Amino acid sequence: MHVNGTAAQPAPAPRDGSAAPAPGDPVQDSSAGRHARRFGLPVATALVMGNIIGGGIFLLPASVAPYGTVSLVAFGVLTVGAIALALVFGRLAQRDPRTGGPYVYAREAFGDFAGFLAAWAYWITTWVSNAALAVAAVGYLDVLIPVGGHRWTACLAALVIQWLPALANFAGTRYVGAVQLVSTVLKFLPLLLVAVGGLFFFDPRNLGPFNASGQSPIGAVSASAALLLFSYLGVESAAVSAGEVKNPRRNVGRATVIGTAGAALVYLLGTLSVFGTVPHDRLVTSAAPFSDAVNAMFGGGWGGWAVAAAALVSMTGCLNGWTLLSAQTPYAAARDGLFPAAFARRRRGVPTVGVGVTVVLASLLTVYNYTSGSAKVFQVLVLVTTFTATVPYLLASAAQLTHLVSGRRELVNPARLARDLVVASVAAGFSLWLVAGAGYAAVYQGVLFLFAGVVVYAVLAGRRRGAPADGPVGGGPQ
């Protein structure tokens, strides 16, 4: 059944922990038909891994090379924080496996306003990230098909790269899952070739100094971590789409942890292999470190083409997953009356209005990037996504801490209390570290985005209060 024009009030979750039926979920959505299909564990895991591993991995080794191999320590620290956050999402999804992820958790724990902030911040993160991915993908496309020589040709290519995944989403969740699974498999073939095959060509003499930054070891770890913080955005992917996952209480947590750990393994092995196959002085100035690694391993000049193709597949798959996520959180919020009601409309299992609005905003931002001619403006906006992502991350971690210290037996497993407290605390600390890594300019811009959301919330709240008492206004826990 469509949710047309108004936000329907979801049924409260039963105390026994079973999933509460929600209007528009695939199991109840009669419009979904054969085009909607719930994700199993493999596709949910691919969604997590595909959204975490975008195109950034192909540039990361060169980005952190100036700091030396101490950057591998930063990778390790970030991995611990990301897996802690993944475990928190898994535990929260067991308690409340509805579509929306951090939004659902924040609203249930702290009320409507916190839920709205989580949804608003996450929505900003998704569509700005989509624009960033599309613009970055043009650089790899240019290796295969010359499109970067003219500004408008490059802009058109970026728009096509954004709209193709959007069309897959409009076709239904069945096609979203298929594209995500295929793209994840295809992009991992060359990545694993370097990550695993590079170990057989590893030469310690290529590593260079442990700390090449001239800073203290702690300072070098923090500085390199600031460049790596983007790497783990996407750990929440399965939780946000929990309503589209089969047996979400079991599979969301597993997919989140497996996907995050798998992405971390590829990151660490890939970076280590590149460090060991490309001389340090060359790696520092490399524009295509994975291409250089393949050429060093096997000789020849085909590495650049192969890596460009892998990067393009990687980014397209990443855009496919992020486009779905960009619509899921507004859908959940609109269903509760905390976002414009149009976002609650679904077709073939997909919130089509959310997909459409998101791809239009991302397209406008892409056009602005090419017409302004300033890369710095766009870089700041990308950093803003790191800050805005921390808002739902921190609220979700805080929601888990709230449940753990509340003493409510239906929310807390006494046998796991100490372990869950440690994990939730680490996840909260990781979220705060993300804020520090975003930088002052990004935090400033991000706060402005959040304050704009406060105005939107004020309008929506006023309309809800003015609606008739028996009208279909949002509801739920306060």
Which amino acid belongs to residue 42?
A: P
Q: Which stretches of 71-134 are assigned E, i.e. beta strand?
A: none
Instruction: Give the pLDDT of residue 372.
Output: 73
Smallest CA-to-CA distance from 243 within 397, 46, 36 is with 36
Q: Higher confidence at residue 397 or residue 443?
A: 397
Contact criterion met (CB below 8 Å) for 325 and 237: yes
Structure tokens at 168: 């897959």
Contact criterion met (CB below 8 Å) for 228 and 74: yes
Instruction: Give the pLDDT of residue 330.
Output: 86
Q: How far apart are CA 392 and CA 330, in angstroms?
A: 13
pLDDT, the chain, mean: 77
Average pLDDT over residues 361-372: 84
Instruction: Give the pLDDT of residue 55.
Output: 62
Phi (first) and psi of residue 460, to 5 degrees: -65, -40
Instruction: Give the pLDDT of residue 121.
Output: 92
Residue 471 pLDDT greater than 60, yes or no: no
Over residues 65-111, the pLDDT tens digits come to: 888 888 888 888 888 888 898 889 888 888 888 877 888 899 999 99
In the block, residue with structure tokens 């490399």: 286
Q: Higher confidence at residue 231 or residue 67?
A: 67
Instruction: Give the pLDDT of residue 107.
Output: 92
Lowest model confidence (mean pLDDT) among 17-31, 99-113, 291-305:
17-31
What is the number of residues in the chain?
478
Using CA atoms of 129, 317, 369, 434 in order, give the dihedral in degrees to the nearest 10.
20
Average pLDDT over residues 41-58: 74
pLDDT band at 39 (very low <50, low <70, confident <90, very high): low
Instruction: Give the pLDDT of residue 426.
Output: 92
Instruction: Give the pLDDT of residue 412.
Output: 65
Containing H/E element for 465?
Answer: helix 440-466
Contact criterion met (CB below 8 Å) for 93 and 242: yes
Longest dimension (CA), the chain: 74
Q: How far apart are CA 9 and CA 473, in angstroms?
A: 7
Residue 194 pLDDT greater than 50, yes or no: yes
pTM of this structure: 0.75
Structure tokens at 79: 């991995």
pLDDT band at 173 (very low <50, low <70, confident <90, very high): low
Provide the 8-state DSSP code for 213: S
Average pLDDT over residues 253-257: 84
Q: List, in order, residues 6 or more apart from 478 with CB less than 8 Å away.
A: 111, 112
Lowest model confidence (mean pLDDT) among 20-34, 106-120, 140-154:
20-34
Contact criterion met (CB below 8 Å) for 171 and 35: yes
Instruction: Give the pLDDT of residue 318.
Output: 76
Instruction: Give the pLDDT of residue 240.
Output: 73
Phi (first) and psi of residue 151, to 5 degrees: -60, -45
Residue 245: beta bridge partners?
39
Residue 440 pLDDT greater than 70, yes or no: yes
Lowest model confidence (mean pLDDT) among 33-37, 202-206, 346-350:
33-37
Q: How far apart are CA 119 and CA 121, in angstroms?
A: 6
Residue 466 pLDDT greater than 60, yes or no: yes
Dump the DSSP string for 361-404.
HHHHHHHHHHHH--HHHHHHHHHHHHHHHHHHHHHHHHHHHHHH
Instruction: Give the pLDDT of residue 27.
Output: 38
Structure tokens at 410: 């239906």
Helices (H) and strands (E) in the chain, counts: 17, 0
Contact criterion met (CB below 8 Å) for 304 and 143: yes
Alpha-carbon dihedral sign for residues 310, 316, 320, 326: positive
Instruction: Give the pLDDT of residue 476.
Output: 40
Q: How far apart are CA 346 and CA 355, in angstroms?
A: 10
Smallest CA-to-CA distance from 187 within 107, 86, 270 is with 270
Residue 120 pLDDT greater than 80, yes or no: yes
Q: How far apart are CA 169 and CA 348, in angstroms?
A: 9
Share of the chain above pLDDT 90, in %: 9
The radius of gyration of the chain's CA atoms, rounded to the nearest angstrom, is 22
Instruction: Give the pLDDT of residue 183.
Output: 66
Which amino acid belongs to residue 337?
A: G
Q: List, in order, residues 6 or more apart from 448 with CB less than 8 Å away.
A: none
Residue 402 pLDDT greater than 60, yes or no: yes
pLDDT band at 249 (very low <50, low <70, confident <90, very high): confident
Instruction: Give the pLDDT of residue 300.
Output: 67
Q: Higher confidence at residue 316 or residue 119?
A: 119
Share of the chain above pLDDT 70, in %: 79
Structure tokens at 425: 């605390």
pLDDT band at 128 (very low <50, low <70, confident <90, very high): confident
Q: How far apart are CA 175 and CA 183, in angstroms?
A: 12
Residue 14 pLDDT greater than 60, yes or no: no
Instruction: Give the pLDDT of residue 397.
Output: 93
pLDDT band at 167 (very low <50, low <70, confident <90, very high): confident
Containing H/E element for 210?
Answer: none
Q: How far apart are CA 409 and CA 422, in angstroms?
A: 19
Instruction: Give the pLDDT of residue 377.
Output: 59
Residue 425 pLDDT greater than 90, yes or no: yes
Q: Higher confidence at residue 244 or residue 93?
A: 93
Q: How far apart are CA 272 and CA 235, in angstroms?
A: 22
Q: How far apart are CA 196 and CA 184, in angstroms?
A: 17
Residue 380 pLDDT greater than 80, yes or no: no
Q: Higher confidence at residue 301 or residue 278?
A: 278
Residue 19 pLDDT greater than 80, yes or no: no
Q: Coil, strand or helix: which one is 39?
A: strand
